Amino acid sequence: MIQGSLVALVTPMLSDGSIDYELLKNLIEWHIDKGTDAIVSVGTTGESATLNEKEHCETIKKTVEFAAKRIPVIAGTGANSTDEAINLTKCAESVGADACLLVTPYYNKPTQKGLYLHHKAVANAVKIPQILYNVPGRTAVDMLPETIGELSKIENIVGVKEATGDISRIIEIRKLTSKEFAIYSGDDATAKEAIFSGANGDISVTANVAPDLMHSMCHAALNGDLDRANKINANLDILHNDLFLEANPIPVKYALYSMGLIKNGIRLPLTWLSEDYHQIIDKALSNTGIK
């Protein structure tokens, strides 16, 4: 089981929107050096919605290549088409990803039975370990704890990213699953409390800009060191909030650009961060001791 801080890594792009694989390599080296526990490639923060299937697979392949087995790579392979999710998951398995993260099918609003059958179909088609991803604020569908509990009985469904920010959901999912089933927070602002309540870590946006601090906070919480976890998290609170001033990953891409780690590339329909927020993000980085 992967525990701790799993970065939901941005996909670096040039100003024309093309993927910058050289900077991707540099980011991965930086995360390994700073103690990040795993990389989630081409998830929401990685702009999965605007990468075509070829780019999606190539970015996962490059991430696996650059990580070189020094750190686990979890590939975002979810889709609102079951066939597409299977194809992306097969691609991730073929290039050597350690696991896949599959978001609930968005927009078409399946029932709980539909969610179960979708994830079961992907799990049966591809044997790579799979992590469910529940984020109703983006998908317009909420996978209930009972459905997660049933899916956890499938051998290669090994965990869930629960991004509602509702700590009671973490507690309920833990009761409905085995201790071997991984639970990850998908909400930085409540990740510390989620770990205190039974989660195994955080799939984090904040970790893009503060990898060492997020690693330290998560492991302090996992080790039961409440005082240290609270102290570190208090320093991160401003980032947890300000990195969502506009839709993710708009603010975190600006933050990384401001830090000199990526160029100012993002894909439509997302746009570069409004100038009104530049100073706020810069101040948050400064106040956290990052810049």
Active site residues: 133, 161
Structure tokens at 194: 């989620």
Cα–Cα distance for residue pair 186/139, rounded to 1 Å: 14
Cα–Cα distance for residue pair 250/244, rounded to 1 Å: 8
Helix (H) or strand (E) holding 70: none
Phi, psi dihedral angles at 4 (to 5 degrees)? 105, -135
Cα–Cα distance for residue pair 283/50, rounded to 1 Å: 30
Structure tokens at 225: 């060191």
Cα–Cα distance for residue pair 157/152, rounded to 1 Å: 6
In this structure, are residues 185 and 201 in contact, taking their beta carbons and an 8 Å threshold?
yes
Cα–Cα distance for residue pair 238/11, rounded to 1 Å: 23
In this structure, are residues 256 and 262 in contact, taking their beta carbons and an 8 Å threshold?
yes
DSSP per-residue letters across 202-238: EEESGGGT-HHHHHHHHHHHHTT-HHHHHHHHHHHHH
Cα–Cα distance for residue pair 67/59, rounded to 1 Å: 12
Cα–Cα distance for residue pair 104/142, rounded to 1 Å: 8
